[in-house]
Amino acid sequence: MILTNPAAEDVPLPRDNWQRSSWSKAPLRWQLAIVTAVMVAAAVSVMTIVAYWTVSTSLNRTVDSNLTTTAQSVLTRSEDPEFQKEIHRELAVFKNYNPDIQIQFFPPGAAQGIGDDIVLVVEGQVIRGETSMTLRNQGDERVIAMNNPAGSTVVLSQDLGPTYTLVSSLGMVLLIIAGLGTLMAIAAGMVVSTTGLRPVTRLQRAVEHVTATDSLEPIEVHGRDELAQLTRSFNDMLESLDASRRRQTELVADAGHELKTPLTSLRTNIELLMMVSKSPTPNFSSADLHDLEKDVIAQIDELSTLIGDLVDLAREDAKQGEMELVDLEDTMASSLERVRRRRPDVQFTFERAEWFLKGDSFALGRATVNLMDNAAKWSPPNGVVRLSMEPINEHSIHVKVADSGPGIPNDERSKVFERFYRSVQARSMPGSGLGLSIVKQVIERHNGTIEVRDSDDGGTLMQITLPGGSTPEAGQASARIASR
């Protein structure tokens, strides 16, 4: 017995998982706005802190500098004998000019200071001559003590309240600026995200339109940025899908048309055979019955060939097959052996050459078999089909298949590679009209070309141009060159 906890499904997700889930569900516009606001707020905060610290430090240094300069001025003045006679009057004059500074003066050797009452902490070291200057904070005051070589010491104390008030006001202003900057960052993030995502929204609507209507119309491209490039790539995909759909539609329509005729004829012949088998007194002779059975077998063979060609054509449309290094000479030799077994009444000659290329060995074998079968079909009894491999240069080769048949008229040469096309002469012979179409697709997929010419004895010459090399290494290198 398995025990389960009924409340297990109600256990809340961990907080971090919940936050990630909520963030991933938020609209992209809000995500961009929030990220922009956080980044700007962080930048403003750092700038605010740096500005506050810089100004505060600068003000404190200014206070210290002013106190130091003032103390040196007083000590310099104290070297005048008149100053020693009129110390109280001199200090009073100093207070008139510096009302925010308290002053206490120690003549040389004096233990008691003259002037304001300033609490001394470490200033005794200066008075005793142990050090030349001290600087410290006393509550909200800044206290400096300094002596001179004559032994006089001055202690100054300045109230830092106004400075602290100024720094606090500055901090408040910077804080307000930081808050306003964050709000403006949120607004700017919304504007930027809305403007920046407008092409994405347009692309999304186009995708939804394609999904809803099954229409593959291209999307209008605006600008030259990355989103415009994405739109162009999407349009290329739509164009590829549309071409694939058209090929599929044409293949289905053509296949249905081509299958209808042999199926109708086959059905008629089978119905005749059924009538003959059920009739107690058949009106067919043994010869007629034999011809009918032979005709049924021929129609079944025709259907099998047509279906096989359709499968090959569909496979070639899908561009399946692993690309590998192919020995073209070996491929053609294998195809020749297959065709020879089927057509012992035709002679074949083969001029070989070593050649390698990167490609689909199965597809190339099927294409060469189709070419050889086609040449043998049109050659007369005891005719000769001539095969040759003639390198053009280091990276290209001509593969020629020539027959001794009636040839192909010039006005039909551009049509023989069309699907299901059959000339007037070919309609009386077996075939589906797909063989040469498959050949052309295979050759073009391997970056080659095929053209129809006249053979030396008036027949047809199929000339194929393929890339590659005379060694495996050259074949690999040629494939890399063709892919650039």
DSSP code for 11: P
- In CATH, which of 1.10.10.10, 3.20.10.10, 3.30.565.10, 3.40.50.1820 is domain 321-483? 3.30.565.10
Query: Two tokens at 250?
Result: 């044409």
Distance separating alpha carbons of residues 337 and 334, to the nearest angstrom: 5
Q: Are 404 and 383 in contact (CB under 8 A)?
A: yes
Burial 27-52 (b: 16+ CB within 10 A, else e): eebeebbbebbeebbeebeeebeebb
CA angle at residue 335 from 334 to 337, to 5 degrees? 65
Starting at the edge strand found earlier in the chain, the sheet holding 460-467 runs 347-351, 384-391, 396-402, 460-467, 449-454
**Confidence grade of residue 462 (pLDDT, cut at 50, 70, 90):** very high
Confidence of residue 335 (pLDDT cuts 50, 70, 90): very high
Distance, in Å, from the CA atom of 440 to the CA atom of 449, rounded to the nearest integer, reads: 8
Give the per-residue pLDDT at 451: 93
**What is the DSSP secondary-structure string of 304-336?**
HHHHHHHHHHHHHHTT-S--EEEEHHHHHHHHH
What is the full DSSP assignment across 205-225?
Answer: HHHHHHHHH---PPPPP-SSS
- End-to-end C-alpha distance for the chain, whole angstroms: 65
What's the average model confidence in pLDDT over 340-359? 91
| C-alpha of 470 from chain center | 37
Q: Are strands 153-159 and 324-327 parallel, antiparallel or unpaired?
A: unpaired
> Domain residue spans in the chain?
223-318, 321-483
Are 445 and 319 in contact, with CB atoms under 8 Å apart? Answer: yes
Q: Using the predicted structure, report yes or no on whether residue 248 has a pLDDT greater than 60.
A: yes
Mean local confidence (pLDDT), 101-107: 92
- Kindly compute the dihedral angle of the four CA atoms of residues 466, 471, 477, 482, in this order, to the nearest 10 degrees: 0
- At 350 the pLDDT is 95
222 versus 7: which is more confidently predicted? 222
Half-sphere exposure of 299 (CA within 13 A, CB side): 19
Name the CA dihedral angle for 202, 207, 209, 214, rounded to a multiple of 10 degrees.
150
pLDDT at residue 11 above 70? no
3-class secondary-structure state, position 169: helix
Report pLDDT digits (tens) over 215-237.
Answer: 777 777 777 777 778 778 888 88
- CA–CA separation, 379 vs 213, rounded Å? 52
Q: What is the pTM of this model?
A: 0.46
> Hey, which residues does 137 pair with through a beta bridge?
142
Give tens-digit pLDDT for 406-444: 888 887 887 787 766 655 454 445 555 677 888 888 899
SS3 443: helix
pLDDT of residue 9: 46
Distance CA 380, CA 387 (A): 17
Position 143 scores a pLDDT of 93
Predicted confidence band of residue 2 (pLDDT cuts 50, 70, 90): very low
Fold of the CATH domain 223-318? Helix Hairpins (1.10.287)
pLDDT averaged over the chain? 80
Res 4: pLDDT: 46
| pLDDT exceeds 60 at position 62 | yes
Contact call for residues 399 and 332 (beta carbons, < 8 A): yes
Max alpha carbon distance in the chain (Å)?
A: 165
Q: Which of 193-197, 260-264, 324-328, 425-429 has the lowest mean pLDDT?
A: 425-429
Residue (of 448, 434, 435, 457) closest to 395 by Cα position = 448
pLDDT score recorded for residue 326:
93
* Residue corresponding to tokens 């003590």: 145
- Three-state secondary structure call for residue 17: helix
| pLDDT tens-place string over residues 133-150 | 999 988 888 999 999 988
Q: Say how many C-beta atoms besides its own lie within 10 A of residue 233's C-beta.
A: 10
Nearest to 479, CA basis, from 448, 450, 440: 448
Q: Which residues touch 346 (CB under 8 Å, ≥6 apart)?
A: 376, 379, 381, 382, 383, 384, 385
483 Cβ contact list (under 8 Å, min separation 6):
none
Please give the average per-residue pLDDT across 95-118, as a whole number: 89
- Would you give the DSSP letter of residue 401? E
**Phi/psi at 321 (nearest 5 deg)?**
110, 135
- Cα–Cα distance measured from residue 153 to residue 110, given in angstroms and rounded to the nearest whole number: 9
What 8-state DSSP symbol labels residue 122?
Answer: S
The mean per-residue pLDDT over the stretch 190-195 comes to: 74
Q: Which of 252-261, 328-337, 428-437 has the highest mean pLDDT?
A: 328-337
